Amino acid sequence: MSDSLKHGFKRPPEQQAIRDKCFHPSGAFVEFPIEDVEASIPERFEKIVRLYPDRLAVKMGDRALTYAELNRAANRIARAILAKQSKLNEPTALFFEHGIEVIAAIFGALKAGKFYLALDTSFPLERITYLLEDSQAGLIVTNDGNRDLANALINDARPLLNIDEIDDSFSSDNLNLCVSPDDKTTITYTSGSTGTPKGVVETHRYRLHDSMIHTNEIHFSVNDRLSLLHCVSFASAHIQLTRSLLNGASLFPFDIKSEGVQGLIKWLQEKQITVLHAPVALFRQLADLLSVEKPLPYLRLIHLSGAAITHLDFNLYKMNLPPEILLAFHMGTTEAGGIGSAVVDQSFCFPQEGTPIGYPYEGKKVLLLDEDGHEVAPNHFGELAIKSRYLALGYWRKPELTRAKFLPDPSGGDQRIYLTGDLGRMMADGVLIHLGRKDFMVKIRGYRVELAEIEKVLQAHPQVRDAGVVAWDRELGEKYLVAYIVPREDPAPTINDLFDFLTGKLPDYMIPSAFQYLETLPLTNGKLNRAVLPKIGGKRPDLSQPYVLPLSAVEQQLVELWAEVLSLNQIGIHDNFFDLGGHSLAATRIVSLVLKQFQLEIPLRSLFESPTIAQMGEVIAEYQGKQIDVEKLDRLLTEIETMTESEAQKLVALRKKQNRPSAI
């Protein structure tokens, strides 16, 4: 059956022509059959191992495993797990850093008939403890590098398995356990609307179907070499794991947090990566770097996810990448898996309104519903609902929420309907357009964040009476979080207190960039009305220091540069950059503009450590009149324009040296 008929509409000829080009040059693609969806992940993986035992499966740094070696390692881990925890189909926690060990542990847990919870070792201990307790994981699997922290977490409450201590008595042969496609595979926690994280439970059928549609859409083959940038605690990593290792391709984990974008470029070239799966925010930095770096001769496709793709992103792709590299984008949710996607080239016509999702996947019928749950007329917008038999099982230990979001098919049968909370429209040619969220779940740096979870943590602060959180739009299509605080009494908690309180409880992407104090929160029918909270921008915040006009031509020029980046109409020379709502990436733009405008060879750290106009003016005055090396200045500009957020934070010592986020 043709791809178009599977989806119930005819794709435009140009889209089908592009997909026909989306193959590895070797032409070695083998279709993922629907029959394999009605199996289990270990069964499909072992099939691939039999076909390609000596092919490279996974490589990171100097360590590499073939498919046969990865399979043997997973089998031994599976038997060690069963020795500690003999019952099948129960949760097991995996506590590893990014790398090969956690991949072997994932397949080991699945081969043992378990379902797993992948814990991010960088998360605050309080959050990890909550996830452990909520998941009811009876065993923690870890390695030497994380054993001490894992021991501290369990406090003798549950057994621990260190895979580096598994002895030779455990066989490396396949276990051949009977695993059903309906059995659970993993619990993936997302930010929860009730104020606590909620776990989404996947099954083997769900994950295998998602692997099938991604495989057959992008035509992965044994000759492809895929990147793995996402931590395995997030759903995007599961996609990469299965669509590579269930197809005989090679998977290359990369630690983007420590290596940065410059390291990524070199790594892509050295490892001959053919398919790069990247968050949109990272792609923006990568595309800028590619404009001054050598092209990537092996890369055939870039797959973007984690946030809505904008017109800016598509223009970056057109301007900075060679035409032979294709661009793929898709929309999916942890609950429904992939919903739709498209593969495009530089001739693609980006829509004027909304964000393109692409074309619905095989086995996923997209419904657009009005407020009463009825389907809307063609070309009208409504809530995206997904009807399929390939949905997640539901929410872990939350039956009421599962019933509210996963509806039975009114016509009967084994399909269900998942209400996404997203708004969209379907165009005449079948392409889906995303028009935003129906509720208040937002994407921050590619992560799903429920604002209520942050509010609940803030409300637990002893000096906070009430709190509301809003995600405001920032330049380049990004969003940033602002917390509105109602103090219990004077004095109000300091910004330092609030930040320190949140740091121990939430991941960094969930910590607001700015705080504003209010006497009361605006309510409508007893609920927080986020729409009327005062938006930041334009007006200078009420700061403790008085407004002071610029005193020199240099200070006046700096005021104009800062105003452009911060979108403010008034800036005093003693105002702190971060108190004005600045952040580390905005600081990189300020520094880049300063270097270009003043044409001075100034050490980057000196500029980053000057958080006021007056201080930055003094640094500029110190270097004026000195001879510059044009090549060195160009290198400085390249360094700052390709800097990652973590690198920028180190230079500004954000919330460390300044010891506060922006206070409004």
What is the C-alpha radius of gyration for the chain, rounded to an integer number of angstroms?
26
> Residue 480's beta-bridge partner residues?
472
Most confident range (mean pLDDT) of 318-322, 479-483, 536-540, 581-585 is 318-322
CB 490 within 8 A of CB 509: no
Number of neighbouring beta carbons within 10 Å of residue 576: 18
Most confident range (mean pLDDT) of 79-83, 407-411, 498-502, 592-596 is 79-83
Task: Compute the C-alpha angle 300/305/310, nearest 5°.
Answer: 95
Residue 294 has pLDDT above 80, yes or no: no
Higher pLDDT: 402 or 512? It is 402
Residue 1 has pLDDT above 70, yes or no: no
Counted residue by residue, the chain has a size of 664
CB 210 within 8 A of CB 200: no
Calpha distance 633→595 (Å, rounded): 8
Q: Which tokens is 140 given?
A: 């923690």
Average pLDDT over residues 34-43: 97
Q: What secondary structure, in 3-state letters, does 427-491 show?
A: CCCCCEEEEEECCCEEEECCEEEEHHHHHHHHHCCCCEEEEEEEEEECHHHCEEEEEEEEECCCC
Calpha distance 137→116 (Å, rounded): 8
Amino acid at the residue 573: I
Residue percentage of the chain with pLDDT more than 70: 90
Taking alpha carbons only, the member of 120, 166, 104, 112 closest to residue 138 is 112
Q: Which tokens is 99 given?
A: 């790398």
Predicted pLDDT at 91: 97
CA atoms lying within 13 Å on the CB side of residue 126:
9
Average pLDDT along the chain:
86
Most confident range (mean pLDDT) of 385-394, 459-468, 572-581 is 385-394
Calpha distance 608→657 (Å, rounded): 11
Element (H, E) at 507: none
Residue 588 has pLDDT above 90, yes or no: no
> Residue 58's beta-bridge partner residues?
65, 251
Residue 42 has pLDDT above 90, yes or no: yes
Could you give the strand order of the β-sheet that contains 662-663, starting from the edge strand earlier in sequence?
A: 464-473, 479-487, 514-517, 662-663
Chain segment 348-391, per-residue pLDDT in tens:
988 877 789 999 999 999 999 998 899 998 888 899 999 999 99
Predicted pLDDT at 659: 38
Predicted pLDDT at 660: 42
Determine if residue 412 is left, alpha or beta; phi over 0 gives left, psi from -120 to 50 gives alpha, anything else beta.
left
466 φ/ψ angles, rounded to the nearest 5 degrees: -155, 160
In the numeric block, the tokens 């121990």 are attached to: 504
Higher pLDDT: 223 or 309? It is 223
DSSP character for 568? Answer: B
Q: Which tokens is 332 given?
A: 């999916």
Task: Compute the C-alpha angle 307/308/310, nearest 5°.
Answer: 130
Predicted pLDDT at 49: 98
588, with CB counted inside 10 A (0-12, 13-18, 19+), is buried
Strand ranges (E), 97-190 = 115-120, 140-142, 160-162, 184-190
Residue 589 has pLDDT above 90, yes or no: no
Predicted pLDDT at 565: 81
Average pLDDT over residues 298-316: 88
Average pLDDT over residues 101-114: 98
Q: Using alpha carbons, list the distances in angstroms from residue 100 to 86, 182, 270, 278.
A: 25, 27, 19, 19
Higher pLDDT: 618 or 566? It is 618
Calpha distance 265→15 (Å, rounded): 29
DSSP for 339-374, please give it. Answer: EEEEEE-TT----SSSEEEEEEPTT-EEEEE-TTSP
Residue 127 has pLDDT above 60, yes or no: yes
Pick from 318-327, 410-419, 619-628: least confident: 619-628
Taking alpha carbons only, the member of 630, 582, 635, 642 closest to residue 608 is 582
- List, in order of start, the domains of the chain with CATH numbers: 12-26+56-356 (3.40.50.12780), 441-532 (3.30.300.30), 553-663 (1.10.1200.10)
Average pLDDT over residues 431-443: 81
CB 364 within 8 A of CB 341: no
Higher pLDDT: 177 or 354? It is 177
Most confident range (mean pLDDT) of 83-87, 541-545, 564-568, 569-573 is 83-87
Helix 280-290 and helix 256-270: axis angle, to 10°?
A: 50
Buried b (16+ CB within 10 A) or exposed e, 58-73: bbbeeeebbbbbbbbb
Residue 656 has pLDDT above 50, yes or no: no
Taking alpha carbons only, the member of 317, 220, 210 closest to residue 274 is 220
Q: How far is CA 369 from the centre of its chain?
A: 28
**3 state DSSP class of 510:** helix
Calpha distance 592→598 (Å, rounded): 10
Q: Is residue 4 very low, low, confident or very high in pLDDT (cuts 50, 70, 90)?
A: very low
Q: What secondary structure, in 3-state letters, does 222-259 show?
A: CCCEEEECCCCCCHHHHHHHHHHHCCCCEEEECCHHHH
Calpha distance 335→341 (Å, rounded): 17
Predicted pLDDT at 537: 57
Please give the biggest Cα pair distance in the chain: 80
Q: Is residue 264 very low, low, confident or very high in pLDDT (cuts 50, 70, 90)?
A: very high
Higher pLDDT: 209 or 623? It is 209
> Residue 379's beta-bridge partner residues?
none
Buried b (16+ CB within 10 A) or exposed e, 409-445: eeeeeebbbbbbbbbbbbeeebbbbbbeeeebbbbbb
Average pLDDT over residues 583-603: 80
Predicted pLDDT at 52: 98
Number of neighbouring beta carbons within 10 Å of residue 126: 12
Chain segment 274-285, per-residue pLDDT in tens:
999 998 878 887
Calpha distance 294→290 (Å, rounded): 7
CB 389 within 8 A of CB 416: yes
Predicted pLDDT at 375: 94
Residue 478 has pLDDT above 80, yes or no: no
Taking alpha carbons only, the member of 70, 158, 150 closest to residue 110 is 70
In the numeric block, the tokens 């005989």 are attached to: 248
Average pLDDT over residues 503-518: 83
Q: Which tokens is 531 given?
A: 């729409």
Q: Which tokens is 507 given?
A: 């991941």
Residue 634 has pLDDT above 90, yes or no: no
Predicted pLDDT at 662: 41
Q: Which tokens is 505 given?
A: 């409880």
638 φ/ψ angles, rounded to the nearest 5 degrees: -65, -40
Chain segment 48-106, per-residue pLDDT in tens:
999 999 999 999 999 999 999 999 999 999 999 999 999 999 999 999 999 999 999 99
Record the pTM: 0.75
Predicted pLDDT at 180: 97
Predicted pLDDT at 637: 76
Predicted pLDDT at 456: 83
Calpha distance 568→161 (Å, rounded): 55
Residue 134 has pLDDT above 70, yes or no: yes
For the chain, the first-to-last Cα distance in angstroms comes to: 59
In the numeric block, the tokens 């939350």 are attached to: 398
Taking alpha carbons only, the member of 427, 473, 433, 230 closest to residue 334 is 230
Residue 38 has pLDDT above 70, yes or no: yes
Higher pLDDT: 20 or 110? It is 110
Q: Which tokens is 664 given?
A: 């409004």
